[in-house]
């Protein structure tokens, strides 16, 4: 009982922030598109179709500031959105990079706008949703904040489990333990709110907290899963082989790159292209396969030589281990997107439970202090 009380009292305050920001992020992509519709939304041209990918990227490259470097391209998640070309440049007066996005109309190959997305050391410069995201996973304190949030997650996991042990009806009267007592006193009503919210929210909360701990400590999580099944490296690197003849060192067009990917992965939806980092780097293309739990990311990835177009590696669900399959599910379980709209709504509502549990738990603690 004391363990549950003091874990919840001290770590719970931080968990309230994590929960509320998580509720916002459950529909983060939709909110970001709505808040930035002036640069992200486009009118679909069904008659002409999408412009060539090379023209789309060329329009974005032309708009790059001096000294900036394009790093990857995000495909729109539906026909009414622009492509997003990510680029990196040194933060003014600083010695670290910041990341921006240029948005390009896919039908007209015209830039619709751009924005700073990530300033790694000054989060108040970030757009609202990225600011909320940084608060959610690090409280805005970078790697140290991630470590703190990860440990808070472990503490809250123990607190939720301790709460379930405290709640468990030894007499077997589960019906009364799962409902509000009729005509209860104010003190009992506060207790029932804490009890019912905690019990009904515990299943989803445990999943969200457990997956969140993994996302804060991915190397440890992969190591633990790796004790039972092989887990592929998350960010492998594959080198292109530059031709010895300098005249032939030409990067393949992006239209050809798409054709190569389509030949090996004819189904699914393109999600992103990571550009080669240097003369020996390779293209990395994410093309989401049907049935993947994440609707916004891609587990299926293909690496292609930037000069010859040779496929250097292909990672898909067919070649994945059971450990890879588990890792694939963790992020979409955390965000709720694995279950579509119902999952997002569930995560949104669950994000308010830490606040309700904290308030009712604190009131109940003060009531018991007065009683004693």
Query: What distance in Å separates the CA atoms of residue 87 and residue 15, rounded to the nearest whole number?
Result: 33
Q: How far is CA 296 from CA 94, 204, 224, 322, in A?
A: 33, 21, 26, 22
The residue ranges of DSSP E strands in the chain, in sequence order, are 69-74, 83-90, 97-105, 110-119, 269-274, 282-288, 301-305, 311-315
Mean pLDDT of 262-268: 95
What band does 368 get if pLDDT is binned at 50, 70 and 90?
Answer: low
What pLDDT does 4 receive?
56
What pLDDT does 94 receive?
77
Lowest mean pLDDT among 40-44, 192-196, 323-327, 332-336: 192-196
Mean pLDDT of 232-258: 87
The answer to whether 76 touches 33, Cβ cutoff 8 Å, is: no
Query: What distance in Å separates the CA atoms of residue 66 and residue 72, rounded to the nearest whole number?
Result: 17
Mean pLDDT of 225-236: 90
Q: How far is CA 364 from CA 8, 16, 156, 194, 195, in A?
A: 12, 17, 18, 9, 11
What pLDDT does 361 receive?
75
What pLDDT does 47 receive?
63
What does the angle CA 166 – CA 197 – CA 217 come to, to the nearest 5 degrees?
80
Does the structure show a pLDDT above 70 at 370? Answer: no
Structure token digits, residue 222: 């992969």
Does the structure show a pLDDT above 60 at 12? Answer: yes
Query: What distance in Å separates the CA atoms of residue 227 and residue 209, rounded to the nearest whole number?
Result: 22
pTM of the full structure: 0.86
Q: Which is higher by pLDDT, 71 or 126?
A: 71
Q: Which is higher by pLDDT, 190 or 207?
A: 207
DSSP 315: E
Where does residue 291 fall: left (phi above 0), alpha (psi -120 to 50 degrees), or beta otherwise?
Answer: left
Instruction: State pLDDT tens for residues 113-150.
Output: 999 998 887 888 888 899 999 999 999 888 899 999 99
Report residue 269: phi and psi, to 5°: -130, 135
What band does 196 get if pLDDT is binned at 50, 70 and 90?
Answer: confident
Q: How many other C-beta atoms can be found within 10 angstroms of the C-beta atom of residue 105?
A: 21
Q: Which is higher by pLDDT, 184 or 308?
A: 308
Mean pLDDT of 293-311: 93
């Amino acid at each position: 009982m004391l363990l549950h009380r003091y874990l919840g009292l001290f770590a719970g305050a931080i968990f309230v922030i994590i929960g509320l920001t998580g509720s916002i992020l459950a529909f983060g992509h939709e909110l970001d598109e709505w808040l930035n519709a002036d640069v992200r939304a486009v009118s679909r041209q069904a008659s002409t179709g999408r412009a060539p990918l090379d023209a789309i990227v060329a329009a974005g490259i032309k708009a790059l500031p001096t000294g900036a470097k394009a790093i990857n391209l995000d495909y729109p998640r539906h026909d009414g959105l622009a492509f997003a070309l990510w680029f990196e440049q040194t933060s003014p007066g600083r010695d670290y990079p910041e990341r921006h996005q240029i948005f390009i109309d896919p039908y007209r190959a015209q830039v619709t706008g751009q924005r700073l997305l990530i300033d790694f050391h000054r989060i108040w410069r970030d757009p609202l949703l990225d600011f909320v995201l940084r608060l959610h996973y690090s409280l805005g304190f970078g790697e140290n904040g991630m470590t703190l949030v990860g440990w808070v997650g472990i503490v809250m996991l123990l607190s939720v489990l301790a709460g379930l042990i405290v709640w468990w009806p030894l007499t077997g009267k589960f019906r009364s333990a799962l409902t509000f007592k009729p005509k209860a006193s104010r003190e009992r009503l506060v207790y029932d709110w804490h009890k019912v919210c905690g019990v009904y929210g515990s299943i989803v909360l445990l999943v969200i907290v457990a997956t969140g701990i993994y996302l804060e400590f991915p190397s440890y999580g992969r190591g633990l899963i790796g004790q039972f099944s092989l887990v592929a490296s998350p960010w492998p690197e594959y080198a292109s082989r530059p031709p010895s003849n300098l005249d032939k060192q030409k990067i393949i067009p992006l239209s050809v790159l798409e054709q190569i990917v389509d030949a090996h992965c004819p189904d699914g939806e393109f999600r992103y292209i990571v550009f080669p980092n240097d003369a020996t780097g390779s293209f990395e293309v994410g093309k989401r396969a049907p049935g993947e739990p994440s609707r916004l990311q891609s587990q299926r990835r293909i690496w292609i030589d930037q000069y010859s177009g040779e496929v250097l590696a292909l990672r898909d669900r067919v070649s994945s281990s059971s450990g890879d399959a588990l890792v694939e599910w963790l992020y979409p379980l955390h965000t709720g997107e694995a279950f579509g709209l119902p999952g997002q709504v569930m995560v949104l509502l669950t994000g308010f439970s830490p606040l309700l549990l904290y308030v009712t738990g604190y009131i109940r603690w003060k009531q018991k202090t007065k009683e004693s």
